[in-house]
Structure 1
Amino acid sequence: MSAKEYTAKNIQVLKGLEAVRKRPAMYIGDVTSKGLHHLVYEIVDNSIDEAMAGYATEIMVTIHPDESISVEDNGRGIPVDLHPVEKKPAVEIIMTTLHAGGKFDKNTYKVSGGLHGVGASVVNALSEWCKVEIYRNNKIYQQVYERGAPVTELKIIGETDKRGTKITFLADSEIFKKISYKFEVLANRLRELAFLNKNLKITIVDERNDIQETYQYEGGLKEFVAYLDASRTPLHEEPIYFEGERDGIPVEIALQYNTAYTENILTYCNNVNTMEGGTHLSGFKSALTRTINSYAQKYNFIKNNDKINLSGEDVREGLTAVISVKVPEPQFEGQTKTKLGNSEVRGAVETLVNEKLFEFLEQNPAVARPIIEKCISAARAREAARQARELTRRKTVLDSSSLPGKLADCSSNDPKESELYLVEGDSAGGSAKQARDRRFQAILPLKGKILNVEKARLDKILSNDEIKTIITAIGTGIGSDSFDIEKRRYDKIIIMTDADVDGAHIRTLLLTFFYRYMGELIQQGKIYIAQPPLYKIKNGKQEFYAFDDEEKERIIKELGVDESKVVIQRYKGLGEMNPEQLWETTMNPETRTILQVSIDNAMEADQIFTILMGEEVAPRKKFIEENAQFVRNLDV
């Protein structure tokens, strides 16, 4: 018998919203800045559902000076009458009970982004206070809550000719360590929602800085694609757009080809960004490949004796597309629950694209010609790249002879416990090889800057020695048609570069490559950035490391000595550290800091990579001018 008994009295039953406060990450992902912003999205999604149902035309989000948030819409207003079973006002049930709401009744909401009836109640539970105002029946109803519990009855506080709902809440400092909303993060999501719901007017007001922006797009997805391609050169002036309903599933698609070589396809289900794709994406890809091939053969772009067959990668080179479907009962799967699994959606999308795209190409031959010619050009380049790709694709069994010569591999064969450091330069690579724990840490030194993949076609990319080495070492293959994350040889891929301008450039080149050709590694949280210290501070026999100027000043202040009395060394490169220092500060899992690379906003990520690494100079100059003020560590 164990010392601690395990009986019925050990079983805790969490009532009401206690479960949310006890385990908030289960409901909003985490309690960092990401989870904080998620609170806003939960309330906004309810207003979006009113818009999708045809009742709301305007949504306003306000960030108040005290970091409280208001979300107001002009929909029907949350019901205020008594629930027939619970004998409480419907609004109180919605705000205080998990899995209570109108999303389960398809007569109320045919489709919705919020599926489980937890949004409003979760936000209420994680707020210090929350106030609901409802404009309905020519009256203003109000109820106030604290940490999920009502502290007032639902009461009428005035009259109005408005209709809708306004929810104001202050996130709870007992749950969130830092409560500070980023205007750009919220604005990007609200802009995205405005693109996805044509004509819906969404306004964001930041009272802290007296900023206001309004998003309303009559063109919907067409304007979305034009916005995404603003820093690229299009092959045809107007994006191609079509919509329709198949098997009870509304489908909307906009697409445009540009002169670049990468594909950028965003997919949504009920306004939720399905970053891992799913059945709507596979249906679109299949139909696109079939339709482009059919058109090319029918109009003799491809002759019978040509040995060209346009593959999926060929027809998606330089393609920007947005796919939006509305599904009554969506099923999400995948690691982050952002992959659509409904099998019927594939058929709906495939049928619509087959019909509408072929019809468009036939009616617009001047648009069709440059598209088909680009696809054929891509196919010829693909054939030239085939041998290079075969050399870099991981073989079924890897032995030492098939791995890059300069890779210092780890002794472990278990990917789950192994990590690969991509290190800038032979000097730092040598230190890292001496510093590492060879049981699970592999080192791959990189010579200089890798190719900028934003400006190159796949055949050129695969002929670059440094990129070939990286692909072979990782083992997954590259490209949407060949990449297989299960074949990765390491669970963590850590970019370790100098803390200077060249190091930042190399890091950006590597991130561009991973985002464009191994995006799933980022989605699954496998890419990291090492954080080597910027300073070594010596006070007698005491040694400290600082990762930025702020930490340097804090350490000196805590030492309580004059700055002139301490020796401060600023590291210009990793090679200046001896192996023991590199291990202690940057590589030891017990003491190091590594930043996990994540993509919360695919639209914003695509734009930034295109601006920074693409052909167009003007957008890059504008970006630098607008963001120069935010630089923290400038190496001049």
Structure 2
Amino acid sequence: MAEEKLTDTQKADSYTAEDIQVLGGREAVRKRPGMYIGSTDYRGLHHLVYEVVYNSVDESMAGYCDKINVIIHSDESISVEDNGRGIPVDIQKKTGVSALETVMTVLHAGAKFGGKTYQVSGGLHGVGASVVNALSEWVSVEVRRDGNLYRQQYREGIPEAPVAIVGESCGTGTTTTFKFDPKIFNDASYDFKTLTERMREIAYLNKGLEISITDRRVDKEQTYYFEGGITGFVRHLNHNRITIHRLPIAIYKKVDSSMVEVAIQYNDGYSETNFSFANCINTQDGGTHLTGFRSAMTRVINDYAYKNKMVKDSDPSIMGDDCREGLVSIVSVKLPEPQFEGQTKGKLGNAEMKSMVESVVVDQLALYFEEHPDEAKKIIDKVLTSARARDAARKARDLIIKKNSLDGGSLPGKLAECSEKEPSLCELFLVEGDSAGGSAKQGRNRRFQAILPLRGKILNVEKAAPDKMLSHEEIRAIITALGAGIDDDFDFNRLRYHRVVLMTDADVDGSHIRTLLLTFFFRHMSKLIANGGLYIAQPPLYRIKQGQNERWVYNDAEKEEVLKEFKGKSVDIQRYKGLGEMSAEQLWNTTMNPATRTMLTVEVEDAVGADATFNLLMGDQVPPRKAFIQAHAKQVKNLDI
């Protein structure tokens, strides 16, 4: 029988079992690393370290480890050493190889599933070690156990030889050394500050655990040990603030195989600072444990205030927002089977944790108030002040809404709207001053670019009560133009522009206004930042021209390079301090045209550090800010006074 030949179309339309590509665990991880560590950029690179550290932290939470050492070697390899029990090295029946090799090469293999070895654990649930192995150029694991020192080495996730005894050991533990694969992580380098901040966070969450980190590239070392645990974390967050009560309130209870730990302390500010954790994983989007905590706070404060007749008839009802104004809190839970939403573990989903946290906090906080009436009164007075200010702010907000409805839902009069109505295609430029605003309005693409000029300095919301903030004309204009609300009421689905661009002058005033705007967005529209919707425009500093050859440069280093390229005397250099000095065409070509512009995306890698920085730079306390300026004065470049 003649062989039937398929046409190209028939070949394309055929879909059989042969078309299905089956990837083993290692190949799947190397082909799609983002599915396991989020990305292959700066964040994913550091996530490799966290995953190995989490394995040691699991030993600590199980009660077998009290020291972890992290070393950044000169070749960018990482060592993580602990004094836990050491990974078992005997043969695992199902795989037929050692338990160590199984853990390092088989996805979803480990001691975290049965609940016998680790009742509580973090990390990627049995894939952490194998994922790090698969994404590394090489890995070496040494296990100290049973008086022996065992070693096994891997290359790109594949064992080079079986586990071997290489000597005797004193004590027990595991040392994992790995070098990320440069084919996956291009031009990668570890940031000591990023790693130290995460190690400090882990040490706070596990009192009695000592974590040291050494950077042998530059000879730096840092050790963290906090006997007080998360109460020390709260004190650290409040160290530049004026607190309402001297010591943080500590709440702790073990319920069956789970644990609830909370620390709270109020300051005289207006922003809430909260960090929640589940099994030492930072749940940036909260979850059931945070919901239970907030419900408990509102309930206890209301009960105590009304029971002790501290609320006047003229006072507004105490709401959750009032109870959280000026509150710094850490909520940490440890549980056997955490259910996270998404691989990045941004939100805890265990329903039982809401009632558990709420019950523990209600019981212990109510008891604390009864035993410390003076501190309870200070807290209730702070909450009632917040409630009154919030009521005034609500009236101001209602006035804005009413005015808009009377005007037919009008937007700010100075807003130059774009014609496009699909938010994902639209961008709003917040521009410093009417002059620059005029140039931006003339030079923009009217189809998708809207312009909102801002007059004068924006209010510093770090030091402003909610009613004062909402009465500020420029802040109201921004909120109204974006249309998504603020704080907990912020709704990304109502956002009128999915890209918001801060465009200010390249001088001291412009930098100050940009910082004020960043403070507002960080404190009141953090979801916009989290969704990658906030940008900073990068207007050029210089125009360098020689004859018909014109170049725009953005910093002094680039200027020197261009001047080397432009040889000769007839070079014209123009320094632009303000956006208004550029024509509409120049502003479009250099700063607003998507094809030629450079913009920075605002991201919050370290929420703890960002909170501390905004408070330091924009808060009430002058001495810490003065000390910061003095310490960093010599690092300032391009200071325009």
Work out whether 1:231 is the aligned partner of 2:240: yes
Q: Partner of 2:609 in structure 1? A: 604
Query: 1:334 & 1:461 partners in 2: Cα distance?
Result: 35
Work out whether 1:542 is the aligned partner of 2:537: no
Q: How does 1:167-566 map to 2 (within 5 A)?
A: 167-246=176-255, 248-303=257-312, 305-333=313-341, 337-392=345-400, 401-480=409-488, 482-557=489-564, 559=565, 561-562=566-567, 564-566=569-571
For the 8 Å contact 1:497–1:506, the answer to whether it is kept is: yes
Superposed CA deviations along residues 216-244 of structure 1, whole A, max 9, x for unmatched, are: 10100110100000010111111001111
For the 8 Å contact 2:546–2:572, the answer to whether it is kept is: yes
- Greater Cα offset, 620-629 or 136-145: 620-629
Task: Please give the secondary structure, in 2, of the residue aligned with 1:333.
Answer: coil
| AA partner of residue 71 (structure 1) | V
Structure 2 unaligned spans of 5+:
1-6
- How much does 1:395 deviate? 11
Q: Partner of 1:582 in structure 2? A: 587
Query: 1:601 & 1:135 partners in 2: Cα distance?
Result: 35
Superposed CA deviations along residues 328-371 of structure 1, whole A, max 9, x for unmatched, are: 22222379641222221111111111111111001001111111
- Greater Cα offset, 181-190 or 426-435: 426-435
- How much does 1:392 deviate? 4.7
Query: 2:484 & 2:614 partners in 1: Cα distance?
Result: 22
For the 8 Å contact 2:404–2:411, the answer to whether it is kept is: no
Query: 1:336 & 1:439 partners in 2: Cα distance?
Result: 37
Q: Relative to structure 1, is the Cα distance of residues 139 and 275 closer, same or farther in structure 2, using a 3 angstrom cutoff?
A: same
| AA partner of residue 114 (structure 2) | D
Q: Partner of 2:141 in structure 1? A: 132
For the 8 Å contact 2:38–2:344, the answer to whether it is kept is: no
- Greater Cα offset, 399-408 or 317-326: 399-408
- How much does 1:431 deviate? 1.4
Work out whether 1:624 is the aligned partner of 2:629: yes
Q: Relative to structure 1, is the Cα distance of residues 395 and 217 closer, same or farther in structure 2, using a 3 angstrom cutoff?
A: farther
Query: 1:35 & 1:399 partners in 2: Cα distance?
Result: 49
Query: 1:31 & 1:553 partners in 2: Cα distance?
Result: 34
Query: 2:254 & 2:508 partners in 1: Cα distance?
Result: 51
For the 8 Å contact 2:429–2:502, the answer to whether it is kept is: yes
Query: 1:336 & 1:442 partners in 2: Cα distance?
Result: 34
Query: 2:460 & 2:443 partners in 1: Cα distance?
Result: 30
Q: Partner of 2:130 in structure 1? A: 121
Superposed CA deviations along residues 452-504 of structure 1, whole A, max 9, x for unmatched, are: 01111101101100000001111111222x22222111111111112222111
For the 8 Å contact 1:270–1:324, the answer to whether it is kept is: yes
| AA partner of residue 101 (structure 1) | G
Superposed CA deviations along residues 144-177 of structure 1, whole A, max 9, x for unmatched, are: 1122112233211110112111111112221222
- How much does 1:604 deviate? 0.8
Work out whether 1:41 is the aligned partner of 2:45: no
Query: 2:398 & 2:120 partners in 1: Cα distance?
Result: 45
For the 8 Å contact 2:288–2:351, the answer to whether it is kept is: yes
Task: Please give the secondary structure, in 1, of the residue aligned with 2:137.
Answer: strand
- How much does 1:20 deviate? 2.0
RMSD: 2.1
For the 8 Å contact 1:394–1:472, the answer to whether it is kept is: no
Query: 2:400 & 2:535 partners in 1: Cα distance?
Result: 22
Task: Please give the secondary structure, in 2, of the residue aligned with 1:285.
Answer: helix
Q: Relative to structure 1, is the Cα distance of residues 490 and 605 closer, same or farther in structure 2, using a 3 angstrom cutoff?
A: same
1:98 pairs with one of 95, 103, 107: 107
Superposed CA deviations along residues 197-222 of structure 1, whole A, max 9, x for unmatched, are: 11110001111222111101010011
Task: Please give the secondary structure, in 2, of the residue aligned with 1:634.
Answer: coil
For the 8 Å contact 1:335–1:524, the answer to whether it is kept is: no
Q: Partner of 1:13 in structure 2? A: 22
Q: Relative to structure 1, is the Cα distance of residues 25 and 548 closer, same or farther in structure 2, using a 3 angstrom cutoff?
A: farther
Q: Relative to structure 1, is the Cα distance of residues 98 and 549 closer, same or farther in structure 2, using a 3 angstrom cutoff?
A: farther
Q: Partner of 1:573 in structure 2? A: 578
For the 8 Å contact 2:276–2:286, the answer to whether it is kept is: yes
- How much does 1:393 deviate? 5.9
Task: Please give the secondary structure, in 2, of the residue aligned with 1:508.
Answer: helix
- How much does 1:584 deviate? 2.1
Query: 1:415 & 1:392 partners in 2: Cα distance?
Result: 22
Structure 1 unaligned spans of 5+:
none
- How much does 1:565 deviate? 5.0
Superposed CA deviations along residues 229-268 of structure 1, whole A, max 9, x for unmatched, are: 0010111111001111346531100000111111111111
Query: 1:194 & 1:569 partners in 2: Cα distance?
Result: 52
Task: Please give the secondary structure, in 2, of the residue aligned with 1:177.
Answer: coil
Query: 1:354 & 1:138 partners in 2: Cα distance?
Result: 49
